[in-house]
Amino acid sequence: MLVDPTRLLDDCERAWREAGEPPAGAVEPVAAVRTALVLEALVAYRLLADHSDLPRDTVFARWPACAVHTVALADGPELPRLVAEARARVLAARPDLGSHGAAPESAGEWGRAAQEAARSLGWTWRAPTAAHDPVAPSRSVALPPELRLGPGAGSVLLTLPGEPDAGDWQLSADGEMFAVRPPYWVLPGPVRRVEATDVMGTTHVSAVVAPDTALLAFDADGHRITPDEPLPAAEICLLHAGTLQTEGADPGVVELPTPYGWSGWTLSRVSLTGVTRVRALAAVPGSWVDVAAGRPLGWEGGATLPWIMGDDGAPVWHRPPALRLPRRPGEPDARLWQAEVRRPGHGEPLARHTGAPGALLDPWQDVSRPLLGPYEILVHRVGSRRKRRLAAFLAEGITAEPTAEWRLLAPHGGLAPARLTLGADGPVTASAHTVAFSLYEITKTLVLGDGVRRFAVEACIPHSEVRLELGGKPLNWSVRPLDIDATDLAGESALTVRLPEQAVAVTPLLALVVEGTTLHTLRPERRTRTRRGDLRYPLAALADTVRDCVKAEIRLLVAGESILVGTVRTQPIAEDVVPDGDGLLLRGLRHPGELTARLYPVFAPWERPLTATVDQSGRIPLPSAWRSVGPLIVDLNAGAPTPAAPGWPRLRDRDTLVLRRSPWTSAACHGTGARVSEYLAGRGALPRGADAIAYQWIVAARGRDLQACGARETAPAECRSALADAGPTALTGAADSALRSGELASVLAGSGLAALRIREVTDPAAVRHVWRQAPLCALLLTAPLLPYLSDDLAYDVGELYPEEVELLGEVGQFLGDAAMVLLAGQADPSAAVGRFGAPTRALGQLPELQQQAVWRSARVVPRGLLDPDSRADAAWQAFRARKDLQYHATREEFRDGLDAVAIFLDDGHPDLAQAFRGRDPGQLHGQGEAWMRIPQLSLGCALIARRAAAGDARAAGLERGLRHLWTPVASHAPDLTAVDITLAECLVTAEAVHSTG
């Protein structure tokens, strides 16, 4: 009797969900037969999905328990063979499923999908390691991460060695925490450094932006050029803040689109031949980067396949290149260089070559053929340990020919279909002879093999795409029509269209069309130094036109075609969200295209949000584990999800919906987290102890939102009280909360921890760990050592232990140069930044677009917390929250609080009183400007708290009386609070040093 595969999968899905996680140990014969049948059915449906231009992973999403049990019972080393045999049987029965250019199955992909399926079911099962998967390149987690440009230079990546199934890397980017899985992490914007801790606990530090130079350099393949070496006299890419200045020959600058998240920066392709040195306008005066005359280290000759990329976007060489050794002017030939060819992650070199400076080597001559997969060349001077690395992905003898050199946008969305034909002129073969790309397919996975090894690569034909900029920040590139909220047009918005250069001989127009009628046309900006095919259209001129329209289309008029590139909405994406069977349903859906929803569990605000694709009917599928976790926050986003890790959503955004009446029967996690979830749901008491501190921080920081969404009303106050009781342990435990400094600051103010007295640093190593993940709390823990940064003779650094000296080295990295000036007892170099006065009054009268332009430069280059840019950014946040702050500033006790602070500081603290009065906004024009006094109160409360932490009993009593005023201010202006706590600590420390001297 024939078995219906759908019924087979449905029955097994139900049975395996009831049975729970896969058992360990030997597999029963009956289970082995059932697993083989399920495996074949899954492969068939994945081929059918590929044939129908649907995502393959929808099969695993529909039958997650089948995916988990199949991978678990198939045994890790046997999985590649079993999947390949099942695929062969399916294609033998249905040859038409293989005619679509479908890529072969990867056991690594199955393992990753099964792990994700287990997570959706709430199971703790982990997929077997993919180390035996011959498709995946062999890597070692011992390799350090590498900074590079992403595919198409659309992002900046930190590549992470190892397999995704091996576990998460813990990243700290300037004190903000991210949990990321290999192969890479997309940087959400400029940061000074990233500390990456792999699954084995090894920490790698990657310097990203040096504020002094504000310049990053990448070679032609997108790999980062070592920042402590001169730039090569070759064509490279420079990512810089401000305009580029050079000395010597004309570099021939061509500006490329800004990478994702790097607002205010410019990516330029330059030729440095004849250039002597380079600097960015935003760099510190005199911070030039030299260009090395002579020959740089790099590849020469060879040929790449423009339509094939490695797994990290690297080019694939089908004719291996030669290696040019570096040479400086006047360098003697006797100073030999050595080049070692290796496989990434392998210590034993495949070949060694030695040559004089500037020599051209064939590094592949002693490497066994065929040349296939990733290689790395380690180059160093003979006798030196310092090595420079070059990487190359080789596929010797492979050819590729597309049906079109460029895929244009289709009139109704997507791209024109195309095909890529591959050939082999040797032992290296490709898994498919022809690769077909449908409307919305940009890349397809191929497998290149030589009979022994196999490596996955990506096939991609250059194509047109569109990108939206909101508030000056570039979003993702997309081949689908963009969904644009009309409220965003009034801000600094623009739309960039990428076309082949020959398509812009006649300037394409951007048209606003309503019900078939063209109401407005736009011409692109005249940007002569940019790539000719990248056209940028500012959209602010459309704001007034679309105000009275329910919906309008944005079309590109090019070559006689009218191409839909975006839709403008004047209403929210949806009106409401309600439960619908085993998922959610959006009511009043107005979004016409691709839509993504991020779901946040209210009773587990520490959990990573669930990202789901919304179908055309407005339905959001929910895994079984998410159907009983209680209220949900649903954050809707047009298009595909952004590569950056999502933060906590803003409830005031009109495209953020809340499902308050959702059943809660089980927690989304286990252990202490589950008990905290029960507490938020109104069951049980708040868990105490060290393992509960990180959860208490998160609940206290996000308590106002949690209360509004149905969590226990008393939760924020009880968590703040519990943290205060924990004392220094609470500050140390903040490292596990993954909260931003601003979120930490609001809790420090409300809990009284900002006034906690720390008498000594008992464990410098533990505090240094906190510096990486919660630097604001680490600063308070390090307070007893700060006087040693004052250069006062009474505080000799030589008295400290080496661990304490290392701890002090973190202070300047977080605080910036201004902190060293303050600790030395000198005047605050940026005292006027953050004060609201007459200029702020004028700023409030400007339109939103002009307000943003005034503050646009803040935080373009990441600097210390007390540097002017960081303070201006914090003040801008408070300015935007002025309507909320106005309510608190008009209370009668607000003025009493200011008077109490002034009286205290005038009584024996002249330097602190001067800093406090420096925030006075002056004469106000009516009660409606009371919010301008908020920065003064914020700094005053911080000064009192840090005086209390220094042991002043009178200040401790005043701090308790001011806490109810400071807490709401800190919740609305958290970044300003973080700046003020830090500033107050430096001022109080300087005062203590001065009094001691």
Q: For position 668, what pLDDT does the model report?
A: 65
Report the pLDDT averaged over residues 63-69.
87
Residue 527 has pLDDT above 80, yes or no: no
Within 10 Å of residue 632's Cβ, how many Cβ atoms?
A: 27
Supply the pLDDT for residue 131. 39
**Beta strand spans in 559-594 (E):** 561-569, 576-580, 583-587
**Mean pLDDT for the stretch of residues 228-246:** 89
CA distances from 32 to 71, 72, 88, 89, 885 (A): 12, 11, 19, 17, 65
Pick the more confident residue, 123 or 761: 761
Q: Which two tokens stand for residue 231?
A: 């730039």
In one-letter notation, the amino acid at residue 938 is S
- Model pTM score: 0.77
Query: Phi then psi for 53, rounded to 5 degrees?
Result: 60, 35
Taking the C-alpha atoms of residue 730 and residue 746, their distance in angstroms, rounded to an integer, is 14
Percent of the chain predicted with pLDDT > 90: 39
pLDDT for 18-38, tens place per residue?
A: 778 887 655 555 567 778 888
- Of 268, 267, 266, 275, whose CA–CA distance to 234 is shortest? 275
> What's the average model confidence in pLDDT over 39-56?
80
Rg (CA), the chain: 30
Specify the pLDDT at position 563: 92
d(CA 208, CA 892): 48
Burial class (CB in 10 A: 0-12, 13-18, 19+), 601: buried
* Candidate from 188-197, 261-270, 542-551 with smallest mean pLDDT: 542-551
| Span of 132-136, 414-418, 429-433, 682-686 with lowest mean pLDDT | 132-136
* Structure confidence at residue 830 (pLDDT): 85
**pLDDT value of residue 473:** 79
Mean pLDDT of the chain: 86
The pLDDT of residue 141 = 38
Q: Which two tokens stand for residue 480?
A: 């689908």
Helix (H) or strand (E) holding 636: strand 632-638
64-73 vs 107-121: helix axis angle to the nearest 10?
A: 130
Q: Chain centroid to CA 767: how far?
A: 26
Looking at per-residue confidence, does 609 or 110 come out higher? 609
Look-up of token digits 């047109």: 464
Q: Quote the longest CA-to-CA distance of the chain.
A: 95
- pLDDT tier, 953 (very low <50, low <70, confident <90, very high otherwise): very high
pLDDT of residue 321: 95
Q: Are 318 and 303 in contact (CB under 8 A)?
A: yes
The predicted-structure confidence for 730-740, as pLDDT tens digits, reads as follows 999 999 998 98
Q: Which two tokens stand for residue 510?
A: 């951007």
pLDDT over 80 (residue 589): yes
Closest Cα partner for 151 from 534, 458, 448? 458
Confidence check: pLDDT of 778 > 90: yes
Query: DSSP string covering 749-781, please?
Result: HHHSGGG------S-HHHHHHHHHH-HHHHHHH
Comparing CA positions, the residue from 878, 888, 886 lying closest to residue 976 is: 878
Q: Do residues 253 and 287 touch, judged by C-beta distance below 8 A?
A: no
pLDDT digits (tens, 9 = 90+) for 318-347: 999 999 998 877 778 888 999 999 998 777
Instruction: Give per-residue pLDDT as tens, 482-501.
Output: 888 888 887 778 999 999 88
pLDDT score for 338 = 93
583 and 613 Cβ atoms separated by less than 8 Å: no
Question: Of 285-299, 408-422, 523-537, 591-605, where does the model show the most confidence?
Answer: 408-422
pLDDT of residue 137: 40
pLDDT digits (tens, 9 = 90+) for 606-627: 988 998 889 888 999 998 888 8
- Tell me the average pLDDT across 223-246: 88
Tell me what the mean pLDDT of segment 848-877 comes to.
74
pLDDT for 352:
92
Q: Where is pLDDT greater, at 693 or 847?
A: 693
- Looking at residue 268, what is its pLDDT? 92
Short-list 601, 605, 607, 593, CA closest to 637: 593
Distance between CA atoms of residues 414 and 407, nearest Å: 10
Separation between Cα atoms, residue 296 and residue 275, nearest integer Å: 14
The answer to whether 495 and 466 are in contact (CB under 8 A) is yes
Q: Give the model's pLDDT for residue 546.
A: 84
* Distance between CA atoms of residues 599 and 601, nearest Å: 7
Q: What are phi and psi of 37, to 5 degrees?
A: -65, -45
- For residue 167, pLDDT beyond 80: no
Residue 856 has pLDDT above 60, yes or no: no
Note the pLDDT of residue 138.
38
User: Is 835 a residue whose pLDDT tops 70?
Assistant: yes
- β 231-232/289-292 pair status: parallel
Residue 602 pLDDT more than 70? Answer: yes
Of 444-458, 695-709, 841-855, least confident by mean pLDDT is: 841-855
H helices of 570-671, in order, are none
DSSP 508: P
Length of the chain: 997
DSSP per residue, 208-256:
---TTT-EEEE-TTSBBPPTTSPEESSEEEEEEES-EEEEES----EEE
pLDDT computed for residue 906 by the predictor: 94
DSSP string for residues in 105-131: P-HHHHHHHHHHHHHHHT----PPPGG
| 934-949 and 741-751 helices, crossing angle to 10° | 70
With b for 16 or more beta-carbon neighbours within 10 A and e for fewer, the 964-974 pattern comes to ebbbbbbbbbb
* Section 72-101 average pLDDT: 72
More confident position, 52 or 706: 706
- Give the separation between CA 510 and CA 791, rounded to whole angstroms: 61
